[in-house]
Amino acid sequence: MVTSSHSRPGTPSPAGTTPPSTEPDERRKTTGRSASPTLDLSFKQRAGIWIRKHGLGPYLLLLPATAVIGALILWPAIQVGLFSFQNYGLMQISGVLPTQWVGFSNYSQILHDPEFWQSLKTSLYFALVVVPLTMIVGTLVGQLLARLGPKMRTFVSVSALLAWATPAVSASVIFVWLVDPDGGVVDWALAKLPSWLGGGAHWAGFSWTNATLPAYTVLTVMLVWTGFPFVAITVLAGLRTLPSELLEAARVDGAGAWRTFWKVTFPILRPVFLVLALLSTIWDFGVFTQAYIVTGNLGNRDEYNLGLYEYSQAFTQPPHYGLASAAAFVLTIILLIVTVGYVRAAVKQGSLA
Amino acid sequence: MTSVPVSNRAVSSRAGSARGGSARGGRRFGRASRKTVLNLLGLLVALFALFPVLWMISTAFKPATEIYSLTPHPIPLHPTLANFRAVFSGSVIGISYWTFLKNSLFITITAVVASSFIGLLAAIALGRFKFKFRTTYLIMLLIVQLLPQQALVVSLFIDFRKLNLLDSLVGLILVYTAFALPVTIWMMRNFAATVPRDLEEAAAIDGAGAWTRFWRILLPLVSPGLVATSVFAFIFAYNEFVFALTFLGTDTAKFTLPLYVEYFYGQNSTNWGAIMASSTLFTIPVLAFFLFTQRRLKSGLVAGAVKG
């Protein structure tokens, strides 16, 4: 891993990416000069001088990370784009038939698949419900945390963060158990609830995971449960950056909590809220692990969201890697649009400094 | 456990509210009951947050008769270790929990060490150097960390199949290292930027080489940041499901803990005591680890997330 001191073969590639301000011929000249044995320097020292002279230090330091990210994230992303234009399936992966370029046929096949539109709709509605809900619950809890005494605040925020840190697989299995028709505590509690609160005996034995709406209701509660602590802690941190004079002035002027929030807190913390909303959208739109477990391991096709739809194209028999790649590309594009908003918000916030 | 320092601002705002209260007159009782209400709300939030995990633990200690009783009790009336015994002995799916714990820890720790080291190098470049493409690189990191993993998994599956990295722990280590990197670099660069340059320059004048400066000056100073970022990398790798599900298809003995819990659940979907026991044994270590390190985490969480 000692790349910095003596990686002569490695150096040309970052040098190639250096800006045109240092002309290539000039670079060659200086290389020759520093390599000439005017002083009695070791190879290591000379390499160090050469790296310093050309400002290659940061590029060398970035080399391993760039290689790993490039090979295992960027290249697969590009390859998904390529596969989406090929008829990559069982015959192709086993080498029986060669892969062929098929133009947009994968895309047109997907866009004519009602299941695709169904799953897209599910993803969309789900994000539209979960993201605002997570934001509201998280913001309310953040406001509550700001008003609690230090000990209580620590207790509540640590408890909340434990929910956030609970692995998705555990959370899913736990929630499936909570809503289990035989022995689950949720059905039991709902059956005990008075009827004016929507409770009643008809809840006993209610199955939550066999239809789309109940299953995604469970997923909604689970993802709000997982997501609100992050929002709450971030909002709390944001609230602490607010100048207390402002809040006090609002109070003196007789503004209630509701007005203070919308007239003072929200406008100042708007970038924070924007980033949180965009991040939640990205996380919730294609949510995989929780949806996979709650809707029953790809077994119920009508309960797919876009993530499950895409995955099932590749990993249920027979595999259609081309179709899956086209769906993955659509999913990625949708999320990239959100991501662009996120990056812009991050730039505005000055976090690239 | 007092991790949140009471800032001066919080104190002064509370003093302010006291003043405001007395100005309006006769609100002393109102303030006391307001505090009670707030504390009750706080307890409610904590209960909502903890309930699923507590219910999991409680179920894991219940005998089957209590699990399916008509009135569920929050605390087991006749606690039993039978569920845990079934998980440890592997009597349900044939392989003991320890195998999966070993797999998970091996993969996670290797990936965390690798991504921390590689990430630190990159963070030094981004935090301490000005160079062209720096902003581009940071934006690339932001985008890369948000690419949907289930989209890339198709492509990685085909590559790994060719490279014989399916059903292999090495394959997962590679993927976890790569996917932990963007966040690691992103968070660590703030820590790397805070190390005073003078210190390094002084050492350089005293004749310390780049390597010595790295080990003796930079590393000790960024180690708090290193701890925070590696906790995140650890939680990510330990909890990861999609890649494990896809790459470790057939060889049960190579499963990681999350895959094991899911598989266990799939194989015995009515044996909730044992399922919750397996889930407890998977969850509690990471939650304990998180509790243990959360003091350092919170600043990192906020610095890493809000600021990007």
Pick from A49, A83, A117: which residue ends a domain?
A83
Tens digits of per-residue pLDDT, A123-153?
A: 999 999 999 999 999 999 999 999 898 899 9
pLDDT at A352 over 70: no
How many cross-chain Cβ pairs, A to B, lie less than 8 Å apart?
A: 317
Question: Which pLDDT belongs to residue A39?
Answer: 61
Whether A335 sits inside 8 A of B146 (CB atoms) is yes
- Angstroms from A211 CA to nearest CA on chain B: 18
Query: Which residue intervals of A198-288 are DSSP H helices?
Result: 212-241, 244-252, 257-260, 266-285
CA of residue B130 relative to chain centroid, distance: 31
Whole-model pTM?
0.83
Residue A308 lies in a domain: yes
User: Do A78 and A117 belong to one domain?
Assistant: no
> What token pair was written down for B206?
């005293």
Partner residues linked to A86 by β-bridges: A101
pLDDT at B264 over 70: yes
Interface of B with A in 167-226 (CB under 8 A): 174-175, 177-179, 181-182, 185, 210-211
Per-position b or e across B266-276, b if 16+ CB within 10 A of its CB = eebeebbbbbb
User: Do A136 and A228 belong to one domain?
Assistant: yes
- Angstroms from A36 CA to nearest CA on chain B: 22
Counting beta carbons within 10 angstroms of the beta carbon of residue A31, is it exposed (0 to 12), middle (13 to 18) or buried (19 or more)?
A: middle
Q: Which SS3 state, helix, strand or coil, does residue A255 take?
A: coil
pLDDT at B6 over 70: no
Residue pair B234/B300 in contact (Cβ under 8 Å)? The answer is no
User: Do B2 and B128 belong to one domain?
Assistant: no
Q: What percent of chain A has pLDDT over 90?
A: 38
User: Do A50 and A128 belong to one domain?
Assistant: no
Note the maximum CA span of chain B: 78
Residue A97 lies in a domain: no
Residue A99 lies in a domain: no
CA distance readout (Å), A180 to A210, B54, B136: 11, 17, 49
Whether B146 sits inside 8 A of A155 (CB atoms) is no
Question: Which pLDDT belongs to residue A282?
Answer: 86
User: Do B204 and B295 belong to one domain?
Assistant: yes
Q: How many domains does chain B have?
A: 2
- Give residue B170's domain range: 97-305
Residue A59 lies in a domain: yes
What's chain B's average pLDDT? 82
ipTM above 0.95, yes or no: no
Tens digits of per-residue pLDDT, A167-210?
A: 999 999 999 999 998 888 898 888 888 888 877 788 888 889 88
User: Do B38 and B110 belong to one domain?
Assistant: no
Residue pair B123/B192 in contact (Cβ under 8 Å)? The answer is yes
User: Do B26 and B117 belong to one domain?
Assistant: no
Residue B267 lies in a domain: yes
User: Do A76 and A122 belong to one domain?
Assistant: no
Residue A89 lies in a domain: no
User: Do B17 and B132 belong to one domain?
Assistant: no
User: Do B255 and B113 belong to one domain?
Assistant: yes
Pick from A19, A49, A83: which residue ends a domain?
A83
If pLDDT is split at 50, 70 and 90, which confidence band does B2 have? very low
If pLDDT is split at 50, 70 and 90, which confidence band does A38 have? low
Residue for token pair 């470790």: B248
Residues in B closer than 8 angstroms to A175, CB to CB, are 52
Residue A96 lies in a domain: no
User: Do B295 and B164 belong to one domain?
Assistant: yes
Measured between CB atoms, does B129 come within 8 Å of chain A? yes
Residues in B closer than 8 angstroms to A311, CB to CB, are 150, 153-154, 242
- Give residue A117's domain range: 107-348
User: Do A233 and A297 belong to one domain?
Assistant: yes
Q: How many domains does chain A have?
A: 2
Residue pair B111/B171 in contact (Cβ under 8 Å)? The answer is no
